[in-house]
Structure 1
């Protein structure tokens, strides 16, 4: 097989890169060891986060650090045995999360975020996949007035700086809009611009089918076989050897396996997360995805049922599953919303690929010709997949990028 570009990794980012290149007349082969969106892109909260201008930072207040240090929370947990290896990454992550640095990063990151809904809309329309999108926004619900007022003030500032839209809901209005939530909440912050995806895996597969309809090819193969071949690249696939003029590494949490073999030592780590689906009890209905802010878990209505997702678990990527956060969240979630039986045989786990400055790595590899990086999207892979796909395709084809790619290049490390 021969093609113009081989894209390694068939998650939402890799599929989006491959699709945008194919739309621009390049012959593209997409390669993954599994099926499309069967790893990190399979399970998430299902949000296209137009409000997500501030990437998730490391806390700097003493109270939060103490809570996390005790390792008993739902929103963050860690494997003690992994801390030695993770310490350099965590130190840099903490440093970049200082308020002044975090604010600078947000103003760079927002240039990607502001296009997330429009870029998804364009692909979903072309792919006939708009049925996966629900324009309800999502809610942060609050148990204390103190937390509510802090978040309302923060939202007001974000609206002034970034143009994100929201509503402030008091307890009575929240009960009208979400009548099956327990009446223990003092209000909610309703982000109105984000789009909810009721089946992230299904949406990614729909984008893949559009890619194939346009002539793209999807094959199985091991990314570790990637090697230079003249000015281009070669690798092995189950359908035989493949030669490509250019290669894009979009392997999410496994990107460092390939980049390290090629001589790049990047400060990458993972945040693992878990989910479980439940049947809503009786006639209960959840109209919006909701974050139980003080408790640190998320409930989202999906095609399969109500999805309960946890926060971040700091561990080695391939360590054994430890869904303790899910076990902590489930009884609290049942008190807030009437969940019936579990619908999954076991908890799902995924690994979010993270950089210490919370921004993805997008752009050309500095040591190799015709090699491109597209990974490190952390919590916003689904949000930024089509944005990244368009940006990478424009750079490879020599178009003027619709977003300045300079802040996301690997050279910043």
Structure 2
């Protein structure tokens, strides 16, 4: 079985790459160990974050660092046994989070974010999945005036620099917008240009079906069996192609390291749980509790509660202590009823120390391409990344400048 391209990984990024290549007349095989959208893309908050021009930075203030060091925060937890291995990554992450470096990174990163909503909407329309997108934005809510002032100042800065649209909500307008939230809240910010998704897995599945309608083939198989020039074992036998795209998210390193690439990839793990809402209660928007670092979002399955970041080895046992810590707080924010899921879901966000994804050709192998490392914005940037990779591979002019996302920026 021979193809023009094999795409390894059927999350939002890999599926989008495969669909865009197939649209351009390439014969594409999409390979994953599971059905599309059933790993990291399954469990996110369902946000397409048009406002996310500044990627999530490492905290710089000593007070916050000391608070995190106690490992009791609701927004960030860590596994002590993982810290030695993660130390070089975290050091570079901390350095790149200096305000001057972070601002420079944002100038490179913002053009990607600028196209995230429009590219998702275009792909969703082609896939017949526009009904899954909710063009109503999402919200941050505030319990203290200090945090409200801090976040409003940031929103105003993003508006000046990158045209980010937002709506500041006082107490009255917040209650009008979300009447069932805690009445003691001081206010909120609504990022109006973002979209939210009612079922992230369903959106990835729709993109995958569209890819197959275009003539693409999906195979259950193990991307780590990749052989040079280029072949992969699947349940249906060996498939071969002229080129290959590695889009395996947090598992990409298993392929790239075997090919000799030392790319600084780490993971931030996260958890979610679905809840029923109390009778007559309704949640309209995805809502981030800024002070406590969790988010609740209305989904087809129920109200999804997602946690912040857990620093750990990718395959370490699950420790949903953050979820257990924020659940009682979330119940004061919105009237949640019983848990729906049997156990918490866990996923891993693939992260680079400069907070930007790796998108583009490999340095030392012909026809090897990378598309991973999107951290908190994998779902947000899936569609635009798919378009960029397809444009580069077919010789088109890329939608945005892809130089900042090159793999060899890490000298590997």
> Is this a same-fold pair by TM over 0.5?
yes
Deviation for aligned residue 1:291: 0.5
Give the distance between the partners of 2:124 and 2:404, measured in 1 at CA.
28
Is 1:266 matched up with 2:263? yes
Is 1:280 matched up with 2:272? no
Gaps of 5+ in 2: none
Give the counterpart of 1:373 among 370, 373, 398.
Answer: 370
Deviation for aligned residue 1:367: 0.9
Deviation for aligned residue 1:69: 0.8
Structure 1 segments (4+ residues) deviating >2 Å: none
Aligned residue number for residue 322 of structure 1: 319
Deviation for aligned residue 1:105: 0.4
Alignment of 1:183-194 (within 5 A): 183-194=183-194
Give the distance between the partners of 2:231 and 2:40, measured in 1 at CA.
26
Give the distance between the partners of 1:43 and 1:374, measured in 2 at CA.
20
Measured against aligned partners, the alpha-carbon deviations of 1:85-108 in whole angstroms (never above 9, x if no partner) come to: 110100010010111100100110
Give the distance between the partners of 1:224 and 1:295, measured in 2 at CA.
38
Worse-superposed segment, 178-187 or 272-281: 178-187
Give the distance between the partners of 1:402 and 1:267, measured in 2 at CA.
26
Give the distance between the partners of 2:306 and 2:81, measured in 1 at CA.
24
Aligned residue number for residue 151 of structure 2: 151
Aligned residue number for residue 46 of structure 1: 46
Is 1:400 matched up with 2:397? yes
Aligned residue number for residue 231 of structure 2: 234
Is 1:73 matched up with 2:70? no
Aligned residue number for residue 410 of structure 1: 407
SS of corresponding position for 2:63: helix
Aligned residue number for residue 253 of structure 2: 256
Give the distance between the partners of 2:200 and 2:367, measured in 1 at CA.
31
Give the distance between the partners of 1:382 and 1:265, measured in 2 at CA.
25
Measured against aligned partners, the alpha-carbon deviations of 1:57-81 in whole angstroms (never above 9, x if no partner) come to: 1001122111111111111000001
Is 1:7 matched up with 2:4? no
Is 1:107 matched up with 2:107? yes
Aligned residue number for residue 196 of structure 1: 196
Give the distance between the partners of 2:117 and 2:347, measured in 1 at CA.
24
Give the distance between the partners of 1:345 and 1:271, measured in 2 at CA.
23
Aligned residue number for residue 181 of structure 1: 181
Give the distance between the partners of 2:145 and 2:332, measured in 1 at CA.
20
Give the distance between the partners of 2:238 and 2:45, measured in 1 at CA.
37
Aligned residue number for residue 121 of structure 1: 121
Deviation for aligned residue 1:173: 1.1
Is 1:305 matched up with 2:291? no
Give the distance between the partners of 1:155 and 1:325, measured in 2 at CA.
27
Give the distance between the partners of 1:224 and 1:109, measured in 2 at CA.
29
Give the distance between the partners of 2:118 and 2:173, measured in 1 at CA.
29
TM-score, normalised relative to structure 2: 0.99
Give the counterpart of 1:346 among 343, 348, 373.
Answer: 343
SS of corresponding position for 2:7: strand
Give the distance between the partners of 1:81 and 1:245, measured in 2 at CA.
42
Give the distance between the partners of 2:247 and 2:187, measured in 1 at CA.
40
Deviation for aligned residue 1:3: 0.3
Alignment of 1:53-92 (within 5 A): 53-92=53-92
Deviation for aligned residue 1:172: 1.4
Give the distance between the partners of 1:177 and 1:122, measured in 2 at CA.
28
Give the distance between the partners of 1:320 and 1:136, measured in 2 at CA.
37
Give the distance between the partners of 2:170 and 2:225, measured in 1 at CA.
56
Deviation for aligned residue 1:35: 0.9
What RMSD, in angstroms, separates the aligned Cα atoms of the two structures?
A: 0.6
Aligned residue number for residue 387 of structure 1: 384
Deviation for aligned residue 1:296: 1.0
Give the distance between the partners of 2:294 and 2:262, measured in 1 at CA.
33
